[in-house]
Structure 1
Amino acid sequence: MPRDSEATRARILEAAITEFSAVGFSGARIERISERSGANKRMIYVYYTDKEGLFTATLNEVITKLVSAVTPDHNDLPGYAGSMFDYLIEHPEAVRIAAWRQLERPTTGPQTTDIYAQKVAAIRAPDLSETAKAIPPTDLLILVQGMAGAWLHTPAELLTHDGSDPQSPQRLASHRAALVEAVRRIVAG
Structure 2
Amino acid sequence: MPRDASATRARILDAAVAEFSALGLAGARIDRIAEAASANKRLIYVHFGSKDGLFDAALDTVLSTMSAAVPLTEDDLPGYAARMFDYLLVRPEAARISSWRKLERPGSSPDFGPLFTSKVAAMSAGHGGGSGFDPVDLVVFVTTLGSAWFTVPDGLIGADGRDPRDPERLAAHRAAIVEAVRRLVAR
Please indicate the TM-score interval, normalised by the length of the shorter structure. Answer: over 0.9
Match status 1:168 vs 2:166:
yes
RMSD: 1.5
1:66 Cα deviation after fit? 2.7
Tell me the secondary structure at the aligned position of residue 25 of structure 1.
Answer: helix
Assess, with a 3 A threshold, how the Cα gap between structure 1 residues 26 and 128 changes in structure 2: closer, same or farther. closer
- TM-score, normalised to structure 2, is 0.93
1:170 Cα deviation after fit? 1.4
Aligned to 2:14: 14
Could you tell me how far apart the structure 2 residues matched to 1:71 and 1:165 are?
30
1:69 Cα deviation after fit? 2.9
1:126 Cα deviation after fit? 2.3
- TM-score, normalised to structure 1, is 0.92
| Deviation string, structure 1 residues 67-124 (Cα, Å, up to 9, x no partner) | 3432233332111111111112221111111111111111211121111112223433
Contiguous gaps of at least 5 residues in structure 2: none
Moved more, 4-13 or 60-69: 60-69
Of 136, 149, 159, the residue aligned with 2:157 is 159
- Identity fraction in percent: 52
Which consecutive segments of 4 or more residues in structure 1 shift more than 4 A? Answer: none
- Quick check: 2:77–2:128 contact (8 Å CA) kept in 1? no
Could you tell me how far apart the structure 2 residues matched to 1:93 and 1:70 are?
15
Could you tell me how far apart the structure 1 residues matched to 2:126 and 2:84 are?
23
Tell me the secondary structure at the aligned position of residue 52 of structure 1.
Answer: helix
- Quick check: 2:25–2:100 contact (8 Å CA) kept in 1? yes
- Quick check: 1:120–1:138 contact (8 Å CA) kept in 2? yes
Q: Which amino acid aligns with 1:149?
A: S
Q: Which amino acid aligns with 2:2?
A: P
Tell me the secondary structure at the aligned position of residue 61 of structure 1.
Answer: helix
Moved more, 177-186 or 71-80: 71-80
Assess, with a 3 A threshold, how the Cα gap between structure 1 residues 118 and 71 changes in structure 2: closer, same or farther. farther
Could you tell me how far apart the structure 1 residues matched to 2:45 and 2:128 are?
50
- Quick check: 1:74–1:124 contact (8 Å CA) kept in 2? no
Could you tell me how far apart the structure 2 residues matched to 1:164 and 1:182 are?
21
Match status 1:142 vs 2:140:
yes
| Deviation string, structure 1 residues 42-62 (Cα, Å, up to 9, x no partner) | 111111122111111112111
Could you tell me how far apart the structure 2 residues matched to 1:65 and 1:41 are?
25
- Quick check: 1:67–1:112 contact (8 Å CA) kept in 2? no
- Quick check: 1:67–1:115 contact (8 Å CA) kept in 2? no
| Deviation string, structure 1 residues 151-175 (Cα, Å, up to 9, x no partner) | 0112111211222221122111110
Q: How many residues are matched?
A: 187
Of 165, 184, 187, the residue aligned with 2:185 is 187
